[in-house]
């Protein structure tokens, strides 16, 4: 079936047996709600689809539905996701599962409706107040827009935490052939009650009441709740980080890119290989947990790491953390240590901003510059060079 | 002869409310009504607020969902849409209903969500030490209008119940109080009606209750209840604004 990314995601949600969608229109993702409504899933699977009065209301409707043990989702783009952050924090605080889809556009502010990856920090650092993370999947094809719905919900319920699909305008709007998942029945009320004993669905005779809440005024009790969350996150870090590696085994120049940027860079790697440049692509599929261990593996022979993003340099922080952190025990009890990398390749960034999308050739030219750069050369003018970036001190070859 | 018994749905937890606070009275009324309706707790889900009413979930022995400040009607929408046959109600203060959560409450009413909204109007922000609320009567002194509420600076008391009555999705809008025995009886009747209408899916019901916050009004409980009879009802007259 030939579908837009946004359409594929919507159809996959119906087929996966999602119970409710709440959303507010915003470009470039309004097709998600429109596709859902056109399908009238309330007549087939019984799914609720409701246009909310704002993103704030939408995320709180998600919270209400999630509190009853049901699969709830919403979708938006940067400005709307910012409005949802308070609700996302409450969802994390109350240990509620849900799916949030962000089809990114350029920002900040009203910005532009063109594709961007500028919400990486917001998605991977939590985004709202308090200690929390969301589980973030970054699709780079229409097929993945469809497939990640199921994965996101499975993880959201496993870890009792919101999951996010972080796409961008390109992935949301482009058309590709896609195989949709098979239809799956929605859970019945008694199945939900049995599976999710924590859910507030009405106290049963003789049982204790359920209170879905993120509040606890006792610091000791609250610390335990926070540590419990961190332990769940650690299980996710250990088990669910995903990536895709293309020609990484012998790569001297390793591109790290996600989502639509990774798609473009796949072509760049092809072109580079044809010209005898040993380039490879490492694509984090989960942005949080970040596939740090796999990246260290993939970067073993790399002399230069080029992080390519449609932003001013955000994921590069995680690449640096993965490749350069020393063994640095954390002082928070029961939290894991970070591990280190024996040798540190040069790490630079290439990005386009404001909705401008680079071409494979543009990245290739940039790689060639790195490839032939004399030892003292500073970053070329097209390169976004955040102030904290280390300029190459040794030649890559 | 048994003259009084504690409602079975009221827990033994000590209430945190100040002496003379109307919240305690309304909490008990809700527990009584739920018990008398006899629909089984498996058919009731409450949505609690942020404010002095936050811990209602510790006092009434039913399933609860604690909402972010002002968002209870959106949360209740998400609960009710999944449980169309169950009684879903919110318990919210005037900070929620008339300030931060106006959007959510108006649109829940406008969609005619089959929920009941219990709206505690005590004219101040109680939990945060008594700042001015949109419902503060003109001339009343609070920490953020120490010289008394001045319409030039702070606008006028917001008559939310009138707005609710004008919205097509609501079926029942009433304003009650709990400062006298008679008022308590009327409030109980109103809450029962609101819950019944919700179960009958007639639309959204709103029960506004003019309440006392003796602590922040800097009055004794008796003075606070008298203030309601003498002054509050001038700004917010009691009675039904809409019936099905
Ligand atoms: S501060 Fe006011 S509203 Fe809050 S518990 Fe005390 S009397 Fe009641």
Whose C-alpha lies nearest to ligand 1, atom 7?
B213
Instruction: Tell whether B82 is covered by a domain.
Output: yes
Mean pLDDT of A241-246: 98
pLDDT at residue A325 tops 80: no
pTM, whole model, 2 decimals? 0.93
Pairing of strands A48-51, A20-23: parallel
Least Cα distance to A181 among A150, A227, A213, A225 occurs for: A150
pLDDT on residue A335: 40
CB atoms within 10 A of CB B221: 16
| In chain B, residues 107-126 whose CB comes closer than 8 Å to chain A | 107
In this structure, is residue B9 part of a structural domain?
Answer: no
Position B150 in a domain: yes
The pLDDT of residue A343 is 55
Which ipTM did the prediction report?
0.97
Q: For residue B12, tell me if it sits in a domain.
A: no
DSSP for B62-90 reads SEEEEPPTT-HHHHHHHHHHH-TTSEEEE
pLDDT at B126: 93
pLDDT of A82 = 97
> Residue A373 — pLDDT band, cuts 50, 70, 90?
low
Task: State the residue range of the domain holding B35.
Answer: 22-242
Return the bridge partners of B208, or none: B119, B175
With H, G, I as helix, E, B as strand and everything else as coil, classify residue A325. Answer: coil
Fold of the domain built from segment(s) A2-177: Rossmann fold (3.40.50)
Nearest CA among A315, A230, A227 for reference residue A265: A315
Nearest-Cα distance to chain B for A182, in Å, is: 23
Spatial distance between the Cα atoms of B39 and B202, rounded to a whole number of angstroms: 18
Q: Which CATH code fits A244-372? A: 3.40.50.920
Q: What is the pLDDT of residue B4?
A: 86
Residue B223 CA, ligand 1 centroid: distance in Å: 15
Which atom of ligand 1 approaches the CA of B215 most closely?
7
Residue B160 within any structural domain of the chain: yes
Phi, psi of A273 (to 5 degrees): -60, -40
Return the pLDDT at B97: 98
Separation of alpha carbons B158 and B155, rounded Å: 9
pLDDT digits (tens, 9 = 90+) for A276-300: 999 999 999 999 999 999 999 999 9
**At A146, is the pLDDT very low, low, confident or very high (cuts 50, 70, 90)?**
very high
The answer to whether the A2-177 and A244-372 domains have the same CATH topology is yes
Gyration radius from chain A CA atoms: 22
- pLDDT on residue A229: 97
Note the pLDDT of residue A148.
98
Which chain B residue's Cα is nearest to A22?
B78
For residue A160, what pLDDT is reported? 98
Q: Domain coordinates of chain A in residue numbers?
A: 2-177, 244-372
CATH code of the domain covering residue B32: 3.40.50.970
Alpha-carbon distance of A72 to A199, in angstroms, equals: 13
- Residues 172-231 on A with a CB inside 8 Å of B are 200-205, 209-215
Distance CA A57, CA B101 (A): 10
Q: Does B35 touch chain A (CB under 8 A)?
A: no
Interface contact B40, partner A, CB < 8 A: yes
Predicted confidence at residue B66, as pLDDT, reads 98
Helix (H) or strand (E) holding B176: strand B170-177
- The yes-or-no verdict on residue A394 having pLDDT over 70 is no
Report, as ranges of residue numbers, the positions in chain B whose pLDDT lies below 70: none
Ranges of beta strands (E only) in A111-190 are 135-137, 162-168, 175-177
Interface check for B63 against chain A (CB to CB < 8 A): the answer is yes
């Amino acid at each position: 079936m030939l579908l837009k990314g946004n359409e594929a995601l919507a159809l996959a949600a119906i087929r996966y047996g999602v119970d409710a969608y709440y959303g507010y229109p915003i470009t470039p993702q309004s097709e998600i709600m429109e596709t859902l409504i056109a399908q009238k899933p309330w007549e087939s699977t019984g799914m609720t689809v409701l246009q909310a009065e704002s993103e704030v209301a939408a995320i709180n409707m998600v919270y209400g539905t999630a509190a009853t043990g049901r699969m709830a989702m919403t979708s938006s783009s940067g400005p709307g996701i910012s409005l949802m952050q308070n609700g996302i924090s409450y969802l994390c605080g109350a240990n509620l599962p849900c799916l949030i889809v962000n089809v990114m556009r350029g920002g900040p502010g009203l910005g532009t409706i063109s594709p961007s990856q500028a919400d990486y920090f917001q998605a991977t650092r939590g985004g709202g107040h308090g200690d929390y993370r969301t589980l973030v999947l970054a699709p780079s094809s229409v097929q993945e827009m469809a497939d990640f719905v199921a994965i996101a919900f499975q993880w959201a319920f496993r870890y009792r935490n919101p999951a996010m699909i972080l796409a961008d305008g390109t992935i949301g709007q482009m058309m590709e052939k896609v195989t949709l998942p098979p239809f799956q029945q929605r859970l019945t009320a008694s199945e939900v009650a049995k599976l999710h004993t924590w859910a507030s669905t009405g106290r049963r005779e003789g049982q204790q009441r359920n209170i879905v809440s993120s509040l606890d005024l006792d610091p000791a009790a609250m610390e335990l709740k926070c540590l419990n969350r961190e332990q769940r996150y650690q299980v996710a870090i250990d088990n669910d980080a995903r990536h895709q590696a293309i020609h990484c085994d012998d790569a001297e120049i390793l591109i790290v890119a996600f989502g639509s940027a990774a798609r473009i860079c796949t072509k760049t790697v092809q072109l580079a290989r044809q010209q005898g440049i040993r380039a490879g692509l490492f694509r984090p599929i989960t942005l949080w947990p970040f596939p740090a261990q796999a990246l260290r593996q993939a970067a073993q022979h790399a002399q230069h790491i080029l992080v390519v993003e449609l932003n001013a340099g955000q994921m590069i922080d995680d690449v640096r953390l993965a490749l350069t952190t020393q063994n640095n025990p954390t002082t928070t009890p029961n939290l894991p240590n970070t591990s280190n990398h024996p040798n540190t390749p040069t790490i630079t960034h290439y990005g386009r901003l404001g909705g401008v999308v680079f071409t494979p050739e543009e990245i290739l030219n940039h790689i060639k510059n790195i490839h032939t750069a004399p030892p003292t050369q500073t970053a070329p003018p097209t390169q976004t060079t955040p102030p904290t970036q280390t300029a190459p001190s040794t030649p890559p070859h | 002869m048994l003259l009084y018994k504690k409602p079975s749905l009221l827990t033994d937890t000590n209430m945190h409310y100040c002496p003379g606070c109307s919240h305690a009275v309304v909490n008990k009324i809700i527990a009584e009504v739920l018990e008398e309706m006899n629909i089984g707790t498996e058919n009731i889900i409450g949505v609690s607020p942020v404010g002095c009413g936050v811990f209602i979930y510790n006092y009434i022995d039913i399933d609860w969902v604690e909402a972010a400040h002002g968002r209870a009607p959106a949360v209740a929408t998400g609960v009710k849409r999944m449980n169309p046959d169950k009684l879903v109600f919110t318990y919210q203060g005037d900070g929620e209903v008339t300030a931060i959560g106006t959007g959510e409450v108006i649109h829940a009413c406008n969609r005619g969500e089959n929920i009941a909204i219990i709206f505690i109007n005590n004219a101040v922000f109680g939990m945060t030490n008594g700042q001015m609320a949109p419902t503060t009567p003109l001339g009343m002194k609070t920490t953020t209008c120490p010289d008394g509420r001045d319409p030039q600076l702070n606008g006028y008391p917001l008559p939310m119940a009138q707005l609710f009555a004008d919205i097509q999705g609501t079926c029942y809008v009433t304003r009650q109080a709990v400062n006298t025995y008679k008022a308590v009886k009327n409030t109980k009747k109103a809450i029962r009606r609101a819950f019944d209408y919700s179960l009958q899916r007639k639309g959204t019901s709103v029960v506004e209750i003019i309440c006392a916050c003796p602590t922040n009004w800097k009055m004794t409980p008796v003075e606070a209840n008298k203030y309601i009879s003498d002054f509050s009802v001038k700004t917010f007259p009691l009675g039904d604004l809409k019936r099905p």
